[in-house]
Amino acid sequence: MRGLFRFIGTYWKEIALAVLLFVVSFFWWQDHKGLVKAYDASVESYETRIKELKKSHQRETERKAKALENYKAKLEELEMEYIEYQQAVAEAKSERVQDFVTLRQESPDQLILEIEAKFGFEYTD
């Protein structure tokens, strides 16, 4: 035991340095382990956020495609209605022209009265 005290008394600086080095190494290891855990948690959090963003993007893409399909269907429907309307107007116009041609041939005086009433012109020979 006396030899141990003499050894400690002689080499106390080296022993204190070794103990200090061990303590610093232990705290560094704990700190490093905490940093690794924090890094792993942040990586996991980012991966979760990326997955959610991908799902959200997929939903938005599907919604956009559906809206585009609805738009195209509505546009086709409106184009068909427009074509039908144009045909109806063309038919009505041709009927009206035919009525005026027939009226001019059968009763020109009646045509003159209608033109004067409609447009406010005065007929002169």
DSSP states along 48-91:
HHHHHHHHHHHHHHHHHHHHHHHHHHHHHHHHHHHHHHHHHHHH
107: pLDDT strictly greater than 90: no
Tell me the pLDDT of the chain averaged across its residues: 92
Q: 121: which residues sit within 8 A by CB, 6+ positions away?
A: 115
pLDDT of residue 111: 81
pLDDT of residue 14: 93
Spatial separation of the C-alpha atoms in residues 107 and 121, rounded to whole Å: 18
- The residue type at 35: L
Q: Which tens digit of pLDDT belongs to each residue from 41-69?
A: 999 999 999 999 999 999 999 999 999 99
Domain ranges of the chain: 2-119
Q: 123: which residues sit within 8 A by CB, 6+ positions away?
A: 112, 115, 116
123: pLDDT strictly greater than 80: no
